[in-house]
A and B are shown apart, each in its own frame.
Chain A
Amino acid sequence: MSLPPGTLFLLASALLFAIGAHGLVTCRHLLRKVLALNVATTGVFLLLVTLGRSGTAVDPVPHAMVLTGIVVALSTTAVALGLIVRLERRRP
């Protein structure tokens, strides 16, 4: 049993992105949309780092990009959740 390294990770990242994008469109509940967005983001991060490993030297640029991305994703999530809580309070 031999696979080129990274195949499984590429496959999983595609699946994760699909689950996230599908959930983002289909779910009505706003909290679920936030969760779906985070799942899709993780898929993209996995793809970036897996592609960065394909060369001979480990490429630190995707690592730095993903670190930046995780923090930006967290900021987005925090603002989205803050908005959701305020929206819920308005709802009768």
Chain B
Amino acid sequence: MRAPPSPTASDPGNGDGLMHPVEITFDALLLFSMVVLAWQGVHARNMFRAVVSFIMFGLLTAVAWVRLEAPDIALAEASLGAGLTGALLLATLGRLAPERRGARRPKVVKLSTLPWLTMGLAGTTVLLAVTLTLPAPGLGEAVLAAMPAAGVDSPVTAVLLNFRAWDTLLEIGVMLLAVIALWSLGQDVLASKPRLPAPALPALVRLLFPLFVLSTFYLLWRGGHGPGGAFPAGALLAAGLVLALLAGAQVPERMRGAPLRWALGAGLFAFLVVAVGLMWAVGTFFAYPPQHASILIAIIEIAAGLSIGVMLTALFLGGEPTDIKGGGK
């Protein structure tokens, strides 16, 4: 069951045709709401309101990605940009002292208008000039031409895990580094204690969690030929784990030491093993032999997906998991 290499790339009328008035109205409304919500997210008087505006801004951004024909990014934005970031922000807000949550007018630094306006306009002009001189077609055709040797059918997955695998390797390194930075700050503070004494939530989570795991593997499998892959899959797994934590689940005692650390490092480890192995076998870092590309990418993707899920959950916890005195069961 394989889709053609790139379903959207050859569709005429996406590139430079004119748009229907309805589409223009929809885009205008969407983008206008995004700008207003972004402004509220930064400047709303009440901090809680600011955070909720920001979460809504993230959801609308996901719709904007769909409008821009970027379903991969829409999936990641809805789960990470709106979902997990929102949960993190709300958890942080709950930890701030009440007077710092502020229902007062936010304190601002007064800027002198003229120099900043001049600098802003000058910067925008330079950027505009640079934008207009960019080579128009970009790398779309180059990627299409290289797709047969990529080992996967989805162009975005091909770029992420084959053509620019180096970037993805470093990105997973950055995530692991963020987890290490948080762990080095001390024990978890953000979300370890169940705040909601709701009896229905644990039951619901017990019901939903297997579905989260199932969807994770579906997205991993789908990543080879359509929108999906390691990042949305990892995000979904993290969403399930975070929900379980919010319902009062704890990281099991026997998982806390080595198993957790291995799960955190698995993505980076698989990446490095494949990269160094290829260097030893072929002579070049990350040069997949085309006949093995498919299986190598699948190995990396599964390891990275699970590892990303665990790392995102660790980022949500905000520190090394510990026992909670007097917590739930």
Q: Which of B116-158 contact A (CB under 8 A)?
A: 120, 124, 131, 134, 136-141, 143-144, 155-156, 158
Q: Which of A1-48 contact B (CB under 8 A)?
A: 1-5, 8-9, 11-12, 14-16, 18-20, 22-23, 25-29, 31-32, 34-36, 38-39, 42, 45-46
Interface membership of B19, Cβ < 8 A: yes
**Contact assessment for A12 and B34 in the assembled complex, using a CB-CB cutoff below 8 Å:** yes
Bound: A71/B76 CA distance, A: 8
**Contact assessment for A19 and B318 in the assembled complex, using a CB-CB cutoff below 8 Å:** no
Known: A8-B31, A58-B9, A70-B76. A29 touches B182 (CB 8 A): no
**Contact assessment for B185 and A51 in the assembled complex, using a CB-CB cutoff below 8 Å:** no
**Contact assessment for B41 and A57 in the assembled complex, using a CB-CB cutoff below 8 Å:** no
Known: A25-B111, A61-B139, A88-B100. A51 touches B81 (CB 8 A): no
Chain B: which residue is nearest A23 at the CB level?
A: B42
**Contact assessment for A63 and B159 in the assembled complex, using a CB-CB cutoff below 8 Å:** yes
CB distance from A80 to the nearest CB of B (A): 9
**Contact assessment for A26 and B108 in the assembled complex, using a CB-CB cutoff below 8 Å:** yes
Interface membership of B97, Cβ < 8 A: yes
Q: How large is the interface on A (under 10, 10 to 19, 20 to 34, 35 or more residues)?
A: 35 or more
**Contact assessment for A31 and B189 in the assembled complex, using a CB-CB cutoff below 8 Å:** no
Instruction: Describe A's contact surface by its main secondary structure.
Output: helix
CB distance from B143 to the nearest CB of A (A): 5
**Contact assessment for A20 and B42 in the assembled complex, using a CB-CB cutoff below 8 Å:** yes
**Contact assessment for A60 and B155 in the assembled complex, using a CB-CB cutoff below 8 Å:** yes
Q: Which of B63-110 contact A (CB under 8 A)?
A: 64-65, 68-70, 72-73, 76-77, 80-81, 84-85, 88-89, 92-93, 95-97, 100, 102, 106-110
Bound: A62/B57 CA distance, A: 21
Known: A27-B42, A31-B89. A78 touches B182 (CB 8 A): yes
Interface membership of B214, Cβ < 8 A: no
Partner of A49, one of B54, B65, B181: B65
5 closest Cβ pairs, A-B complex: A57-B140, A23-B42, A75-B178, A55-B137, A60-B155
Supplied contacts A3-B19, A16-B35, 12 more A-B pairs, CB within 8 Å: A4-B16, A16-B38, A27-B107, A29-B106, A31-B51, A54-B15, A57-B9, A62-B138, A66-B73, A73-B81, A86-B186, A88-B97
